[in-house]
Amino acid sequence: MTLTICVAQLNFFVGDLGGNVRKIVDAATQAYAQGARLLLTPELSLCGYAAEDLFLRPAFIAACDDALSGLAAQLAGLKGMAVVVGHPSGGDTRTRSVSTQLRHNAASVLRDGQVVARYAKRQLPNYQVFDERRYFSPGDGVCVFEAGEGADRVRVGLLICEDAWFEEPAELSRQAGAELLAVINASPFHIGKGYEREAVMAQRVRATGLPLVYAHLVGGQDEVVFEGHSFALNADASLAGRAPSFREAVFALQLERTPMGLHLRGPIEPVRSQEADLWDALVLGVRDYVGKNGFPGVLLGLSGGIDSALVLAVAVDALGAARVRAVMMPSPYTADISWIDAREMARRMGVRYDEISILPEFEAFKASLASEFAGLAMDATEENIQARIRGTLLMALSNKFGSIVLTTGNKSEMATGYCTLYGDMAGGFAVIKDLAKTQVFKLARWRNANDPYGTGVEPIPERIITRPPSAELRPDQTDQDSLPPYEVLDAILERYMENDESIDALIAAGFAKDDVEKVTRLIKINEYKRRQSPVGIRVTHRSFGKDWRYPITNRFRA
């Protein structure tokens, strides 16, 4: 007995029901031609993940129901093939203030033009970026269906994402006669998540004694990225196959019945470095946000510093040089080496590069405010004016030509408030918003040593990486004038913000009390800024986005 199973690891578009149906039909047709008789699509593949409050609209649920019926009809000619499709199901009764939820995060098994089985997700995650209990009610059933024909027939237990992280759903499938577990997923990327999934699914396989196929989504959706990395495990928890990361694939596996039981085999992609995953996540996040929202291109302020340099390299890898524009906006405090390095990087990347001095506008602002500021020393006010002039110029270019502005602030800056509202925070998409400064440097060196998209080796001039970071908003300014060293700041940020360690624990771990109190205080008082920042790509398990929900107004002191 040999059954070919395919995983449609595809990039679906939220709300594009017709386009998503076409993708599934094309993948099913391709898989059928390869001899497959079971195709798995990701969680909520029909409507895209995550549709958020679209799930609350009856018209959206009705459209999904119609799309599912149409998909079943289009697949009717693929005789004997089972296609698993993720979709919302059901409805609700609503008033303005109360909703009785009857919707499910569901999956249907389509065969010969009919829905032959349906399953509702049992475990609904409500942590990190997940908010599924807002939209769905948990299921309570089991779904075991047959795939293949005659001697190639196998009984498949269907699970949806979070279900497989708990013991009970898989065990109930085994008790219901499943010989193979099929898990369909839409699990957002963060550093290391792909191999964590493999380890958790290995636990599930050992507990049930059943082989497992893990079908995963790929693509960017607002702040989250899905990296693909579908895989299969045999009953002994050994890796049977691994699909590519961060790109679409119709991933084929062979399931054989041997004297030792069912055995899966397929191609295995090699283990990847964290830097390679991070780079591809940023590239995919930019490409899909720009492409899916219909922007003709991007522009950014190129300062000669490390953050804007990294964003430029990501943008070119994502979109190509022709769709990227860099603008250098020097002030009276811009060092000559900043001009030189910015020009050189733009040349290496082959992008359009322009220089627009902000000196006339800066002098005009100071003149307008001279009577108000008479007798007062220059301070952060004048620094912020410079940043806001740059933000205004970039947004004007965006409005006139249609390209979206990419902001260049990193997570360390967003945490401590070293960013300017309506200045360097002005824009439409924050590419490295979830990347700490130390990670920025590490990723810049990785990109200089690697050229994954063929856009050029060593795109970032070495001096940009090695010179002390500076906002260049006053004479001889460096970031470390008023912040702890980034190695210290980022370590505190990770442990306090991402892992919820206490201030006392950080001090006990050896961090200086003054550094801990300063960084944690800055995190607290700058929440109002982060609420007004653009959406950005999530790459850690806790970002300043949906993962972080702290009140702006509060008096709690740890």
Residue 525: pLDDT above 70? yes
Task: List active site positions.
Answer: 43, 121, 161
Mean pLDDT of 212-230: 98
Distance CA 15, CA 455 (A): 33
Per the model's pLDDT, the better-predicted residue between 286 and 478 turns out to be: 286
The two structure tokens encoding residue 545: 């986005």
Residue 524 to residues 436, 490, 538, Cα–Cα distance (Å): 17, 16, 20
Mean pLDDT of 514-536: 95
Q: What is the DSSP letter of 245?
A: B
Mean pLDDT of 116-128: 95
Model confidence band, residue 334 (pLDDT cutoffs 50, 70, 90) = confident
Residue 552: pLDDT above 90? yes
Assess contact for 95 and 136: CB atoms under 8 A: no
3-21 pLDDT, tens digit each: 999 999 999 999 999 999 9
CB atoms within 10 A of CB 547: 20
Residue 474: pLDDT above 70? no
Residue 260: pLDDT above 90? no
- Of the CA atoms within 13 Å of residue 287, those in its CB half-sphere come to 22
Distance CA 85, CA 81 (A): 13
Residue 223: pLDDT above 90? yes
Render the burial of 340-379: b for 16+ CB within 10 Å, e for the rest. Answer: ebbbbbbebbebebeebebeebbeebeeeeeeeeeeeeee
Residue 96: pLDDT above 60? no
Assess contact for 136 and 161: CB atoms under 8 A: no
Residue 470: pLDDT above 80? no
Per the model's pLDDT, the better-predicted residue between 254 and 93 turns out to be: 254
CA 440 to chain centre: 17
The CATH number that domain 276-479+526-530 falls under is 3.40.50.620
Model confidence band, residue 93 (pLDDT cutoffs 50, 70, 90) = very low
Residue 84: its pLDDT value, please? 98
Residue 150: its pLDDT value, please? 87
Assess contact for 351 and 312: CB atoms under 8 A: yes
Q: Where are the domains of the chain?
A: 2-90+102-272, 276-479+526-530, 484-525
24-40 pLDDT, tens digit each: 999 999 999 999 999 99
26-83 pLDDT, tens digit each: 999 999 999 999 999 999 999 999 999 999 999 999 999 999 999 999 999 999 999 9
One of 3.60.110.10, 3.90.190.10, 3.40.640.10, 3.40.50.300 is the CATH number of 2-90+102-272, namely 3.60.110.10
Mean pLDDT of 169-184: 98
Please, what is the average pLDDT of the chain? Answer: 94
Give the DSSP H or E segment for 546: none
Residue 247: pLDDT above 60? yes
Residue 414: pLDDT above 70? yes
**pTM for this model (two decimals):** 0.95
Distance CA 537, CA 305 (A): 20
Assess contact for 16 and 54: CB atoms under 8 A: no
